[in-house]
Structure formats: structure tokens, C-alpha cells
Structure 1
Amino acid sequence: MSRISEDERTAVLLTAVGGPNSLDEVGPFLLDVRGGRPTSDDLVNEFRERYRRIGGKSPLLDISRAQANALEGRLNGDDRATYRCYVGMRNWRPYIRDVIPEVVADGVDRLVVLPLTPYYSRRSVGAYFAAADAALSTVARRPDVAYVESWNTEPALIGMFAAKVREGLELLAQRSFHDPVVVFTAHSLPKKLIDGGDPYERELSETMALVLRRLPPLRARMAWQSAGRTDEAWLGPPLEEVLEEIGKTGEKAVLMVPFGFVSDHLEILYDVDIEARAFASERGLQLERTDSPNTDPGFIDAMAAAVRSAGRPSSRSRSGESPAPVL
């Protein structure tokens, strides 16, 4: 693929769902996520309580901005081209639609849109790209644009996840829990999306297989977490079902690897650290999880590699090593 020339001014837009920055924003945020469909008071209050228990807000924006700052430093330190990194959210402030005009006003020659998830899905990444496309259609001077669809096999990403699994195993060993069951998790999606050809599940399987290649033999399983409350079928098995099965076998410890997420937010700090840990404890299981990537240097390296390998112009690219066999 073409590379960025040394005299280009390149913007990198990191995109994610977003999250409320205070308890007062929980209701409006849920309304946005639900596409304007009314949210019951009970559901709003439930989620407000969840956010209260993790500090009164989502840490996603702060972490995303820290990731952007670290990425900007890495890119400008490694190359002679000039990079500037931005953060835009699909469902809350700062919205992608508001950040794009700022990017263009800064006079950049090129824009790389990098989703803060390495795995493509129409439900998430596809929506981020659509929001960026819509915003770009309104600007007077459109820069060259490259979209990074998937970067789930970047060697630095695989190495970072493998290192975090090793750290988690060592932590449990220090507590006299040896050979735990290792449960990889990601956010569930409606099964109809996968049946329609969405690559999300396949890409997660690729990443899991590549991570396991770098580790000694483990008793590893895949589970899906944080499914929506709808009547449709979602990807499974759900995490609770897997933990229930493990508990019935007499196991004492589980290491969770929530590799479907790249930063601490509600699905990690509440769904895993509070809800899943309590569920596991009730079944006699010590549950620990690997640290989130956040601003881990290996994760920043992976993002930088994905940016550098992005095609041009107005292209959509997949970044990383050859995919592993699907598990």
C-alpha cells in the first residue's frame, strides 16, 4: 500500500461509541444510542447506578484522548511526516460530525479514520465510517481519506494481548491458582448480523488464535458478554453460561481476557469487574482479568502500524499479518 509522504499533514481520527461524562448525561446518551427511541425510567436509573458505581461517568473519552496523545507522539517521533490525532464519537460528545469540520479547518492533506476497535462490524465500525462520510460530504475541501476497517492481526496487538495473558497467569500463580481456565470475551452482537456476512466473529477468532500461538498450551474458551436486551438471538455462549459450566467442574480460578475491548469503560469496569466477578464468586471461582490496553506501549505501536499501512485515497484497508485459522 502507499505510504504517507514526508511533507504531508495527516490527521488521524480515532472513533468509538462514546459514553456519558456525568450521571446527568446517562439518559440523553442512552436516547442517542437507541436512535431516539424512548428509554424507560427504570432502564435509565439502572444504568445511572452502574455508572455511579464506576465513578459517576464513563472514562472512555479521557482514555481515548490519552490514546490519541500517545499515538500522535509515536507517529511524529518515528516519521518525518506531520500527524495530528483527534477523537470523535458516534453516540456522544465530541461527535464525529462535529470533529470532522475541525479536522478540515486545520488544513490537513490527508485523514486516516481509525476505529478504537480492531474488529470490523457494520454495527460499530460501519456506523463510525458512515458518520465520517456524512460529515465529510458537508465540507468545502475534502482531504484524501483512508479508512482502516480491521487491524486485528497487527503483530504488536497480538504481542500486547499475549503479554497481558502472561501477566494475568502470573498474578493468579502468585495467589496459588495454577492452570486456570482462560476465558476470552468480546461484546456480543445479534446473530443475524453474522449470518448476513459480518466478519466480527471471524476476526475475533483470528486474533484469539494468534494470541494463543504465542503462549504455552492453555485451557482457553471464548464467551460473549454484554448482550443487548432484545428478543433476537445474540452470539453465544454468554459469559454467565460459561462461568456456570466452569464452576460445576470444580475449577477454582478463571482468567478473563476481554480482548474485544481496548479501554476501560462500562463493559469492563461494571460488567466484568463487578457483575461477572460476583457471579463467579457465588460459584466458588476466583475471577481475575487481564488489564485493558488503554495506553499500553504495545497497543500504541499497533495503532501506529495500522495508521502507517492505511491505503489512499478514500480507501478501506485491513492491517496486520496473515490471518490465523478460524477456531
Structure 2
Amino acid sequence: MTYDAILLTSFGGPEGPDEVMPYLERVTAGRGVPRERLEEVSHHYLALGGVSPINKQNRELLEKMKQRFPERGITIPIYWGNRNSEPFFSDIVKQMYDAGHRRVLAWVTSAYSSYSGCRQYRENLYQALLDNDLVGKLVIDKVRHYFDHPGFLEPVIIDLTNNVSKMLASGISAEDIDIMFATHSIPDAMGETSGPPALRSSFEQPRGAYEAQHLAAAELVMAAVCGTFGLNSLQWQLVYQSRSGSPQVPWLEPDVNDAIRASKHNGKKAVIVVPIGFVSDHVEVVWDLDNEAKETAAELGLAFARVATPGVHDTFVDAIADLVLERMVGEKKKSLSALGPWPDACAVGCCPNLRRELPVIAEADPSSIR
């Protein structure tokens, strides 16, 4: 396909104390999250000065992309827009159109299939087009999911290997280490309906594509790490964090803190947490893992380490370039799991909005999905 601009598409975050509550209200609008829960979460941001690291990290990533992409033959302009904070999608879409762009490729800072990690962005981008009377005048396509792209996983493999090595050097045996791959929890129903309808029956219910993709990524990471140390296996599990919804709605479990307590009960001496569900160290990583999970481990007398996210690692920036070149020039798709490479286009009914149906960008014909 021919594209004339790239959009770095992200979640956003507050950049000052006065922005925290308005930001949280935007994030949770219509979801029935109790006010007291918003106030509790606001203290996490305020403890960090009221500033989420995510926007700074996106600026750094944007600069890295602008530096690296021309070396890969990608010379079209790159823009950045957010769902929940400035620069808002609506403003950036207008800016791109006014600059003469008519076909845009969006890369999203979410590697996995779910309503909040995929379809909601497509709803947001359609609304941005609608807000600016640009439906049919500006086309925005979205890059595929990249949970098993080698460039996304390599930085994780490198840092997990380093942390396991440090644990072993400290005298902790491999059998005493519990590795926890952490991702954002979502409602059970969102997990069950994640992924193309035609593929859902192949995933263990009620987790859907969301969990299947995370497990595939974790298995690839563990195979590489165990191979480095010549081990047949290391104990690991997938855990969840950062639940934010109504207490009456079931969300994916186990929570990372409950898993750490269970690890202690099972006689483990160390925990290494891998934030496999995140591409950068934003508040859910810095607060929920580096503070709360670390404190839980310390209270139980467990050694603790947290693996870095891909961030602006060179291999991750190259992975983004790979994903762009797949769509621009048909470059061969890179994927390491049996689930991949994930389709370019989302099927009708993929990761549905369970509250109400909204229009989205680029819905695919079901016959085009494997």
C-alpha cells in the first residue's frame, strides 16, 4: 500500500497534578469505576509528581523512529497522537490532513488483541475523522499485532537473562526462582471475545486471543532464556495487574501480588517480574510493579527483580520499522509463534465493544482473515 504519513498511536497520560483527575475520568468514562477507586489511583500519579512517564517515553520513541526510519528507507513524516491526553487524535488527524496527507499508517503501542488494546483505538481514530469531517477523505490503516515479533521480544530476553544471571550469582538456585510475566488485567468478557470470531474456538476459554498471545510471547522468551543457561525449564507463569474496573465485574487473574504470596507459600526464594504486556515503563509498570509488587516481595522476604520493557531499544525500533515496511512494500513478516504472523486487518466482530457498537476504521471482510 502507498502511505504518506505514519501515526505513533498511544494511550496518553497526565503531565501535571491538575491533569490527573480529568485524565482518569476520560480513561474510565462509562465504565462504572467508583469515584474512590479513581482517587486511589490518582495518588499513584501524584506520588510521581502528577506526571505519567508515558508521554516522555513516546517523545523519545518518536525521535528514535525519526532517526532510524530513513536508514530503513522510510522517509514519510511521523506524527504522534494520544487517546486520553494531548496531543489528542482529533487534533493530530486535522494536522495531518491540513499538511496534505491522505493515507496514514497507524502503529499502536499495544502488541496484543483486546477491545481496549485494538478496537477502541480504531473507534477513536474513526471519531477523530468524524470530528473533522474527514470520513472518506483521509484513510487510516492500523499495523498488525506484534506480540511474537523478534524485535519486540529480544530486549525482554536480554534483560531477563541478565536478571536470572544475577540471581544465580547471588546464590539463589534456578529451582528457587519464580518468573512472572505480567500484563494489564481486563474483564473476563473482554478476554473471552478478544481476537477474530473464527479463531476464538481454538483458544482456551475464557481467556481468548489476549491470553493466548501473551502465553505465546512468554513461551518464546523462556525458551530463549533457558537455552542460554542450558536449563530444561524455569518456573514461570502469566499474571495480571492494574485492575481498575467495577468490583462486581470479574477480571483476569491471578493478580501479581497474590501470585507473589503464593510463590512464597510454595517455597520459592526469588521473584522476577517481566512486564510482557507493556512496551514502555509507564505508571502501571513504575507504580504497580516497582512499588507495590516489590513491596509485597520484600514483606515476604523474597528477592525481587523487574525486567525492562522494550522502550526505545534499537531492536524494538527496528521491529516497528519492519511492521511499517510489511504494509508499505510487502516486506516479509517476522513472527516466532504458531499464532503468527497476525493478520493485517481486523475481522468483523473482532474484539467487540461489549458496551455499545461504534464505527471503526478499516473493518475487514471476514473471508480475508485466516
TM-score (norm 2): 0.78
C-alpha displacement of 1:220: 1.2
C-alpha displacement of 1:171: 3.1
| Residue number among 153, 166, 169 corresponding to 1:171 in the alignment | 166
C-alpha displacement of 1:41: 6.0
| Residue number among 193, 198, 218 corresponding to 2:234 in the alignment | 218
CA offset digits 1:73-95 (Å, max 9, x no partner): 2111120x422222211122211
For the residue of structure 1 that corresponds to 2:44, the secondary structure is helix
CA offset digits 1:220-273 (Å, max 9, x no partner): 111111112421111112212211111112221111101101111111111001
The 2-side partners of 1:235 and 1:144 are apart by: 35
The 2-side partners of 1:206 and 1:249 are apart by: 25
Q: Does 1:104 align with 2:97?
A: yes
Assess if the C-alpha contact under 8 Å between 2:13 and 2:84 holds in 1.
yes
For the residue of structure 1 that corresponds to 2:29, the secondary structure is coil
Q: Does 1:194 align with 2:191?
A: yes
C-alpha displacement of 1:170: 2.4
Corresponding residue of 1:315: none
Corresponding residue of 2:123: 130
Corresponding residue of 2:276: 259
| Residue number among 173, 176, 183 corresponding to 2:180 in the alignment | 183
For the residue of structure 1 that corresponds to 2:147, the secondary structure is strand
Corresponding residue of 1:153: 148
CA offset digits 1:62-118 (Å, max 9, x no partner): 101111111122111120x42222221112221112111112222235311111011
For the residue of structure 1 that corresponds to 2:140, the secondary structure is strand
For the residue of structure 1 that corresponds to 2:238, the secondary structure is strand
Which runs of 5 or more structure 2 residues have no equivalent in the other structure? 196-208, 227-232, 341-370
Corresponding residue of 2:216: 206
Cα distance, 1:278–1:322 mapped onto 2, change above 3 Å: closer
C-alpha displacement of 1:136: 2.7
The 1-side partners of 2:275 and 2:291 are apart by: 14
C-alpha displacement of 1:141: 7.7
| Residue number among 35, 50, 53 corresponding to 2:47 in the alignment | 53
Superposed CA RMSD: 2.6
Corresponding residue of 1:228: 244
Cα distance, 1:41–1:185 mapped onto 2, change above 3 Å: closer
Q: Does 1:24 align with 2:18?
A: yes
C-alpha displacement of 1:145: 3.2
Q: Which amino acid aligns with 1:218?
A: L
CA offset digits 1:16-74 (Å, max 9, x no partner): 22111111111101111122679766444433321132343101011011111111221
CA offset digits 1:167-187 (Å, max 9, x no partner): 221233343334221111100
Assess if the C-alpha contact under 8 Å between 1:181 and 1:253 holds in 2.
yes
C-alpha displacement of 1:213: 2.4
The 2-side partners of 1:59 and 1:308 are apart by: 29
Corresponding residue of 2:337: 323
Corresponding residue of 2:57: 63
Assess if the C-alpha contact under 8 Å between 1:26 and 1:47 holds in 2.
no
Cα distance, 1:59–1:121 mapped onto 2, change above 3 Å: same
Aligned length: 315
Corresponding residue of 2:300: 283
The 1-side partners of 2:310 and 2:159 are apart by: 9
Cα distance, 1:57–1:300 mapped onto 2, change above 3 Å: same
Assess if the C-alpha contact under 8 Å between 1:30 and 1:39 holds in 2.
no
C-alpha displacement of 1:140: 7.9
Q: Which moved more, 1:302-311 or 1:180-189?
A: 302-311
The 1-side partners of 2:302 and 2:170 are apart by: 13
Which runs of 5 or more structure 1 residues have no equivalent in the other structure? 313-317
TM-score (norm 1): 0.87
Assess if the C-alpha contact under 8 Å between 2:149 and 2:319 holds in 1.
yes
Q: Which amino acid aligns with 1:98?
A: D
Q: Which amino acid aligns with 1:136?
A: L
Q: Does 1:91 align with 2:84?
A: yes
The 1-side partners of 2:152 and 2:314 are apart by: 10
Assess if the C-alpha contact under 8 Å between 2:144 and 2:323 holds in 1.
no
Identify, as 1 or 2, the structure richer in strand: 1
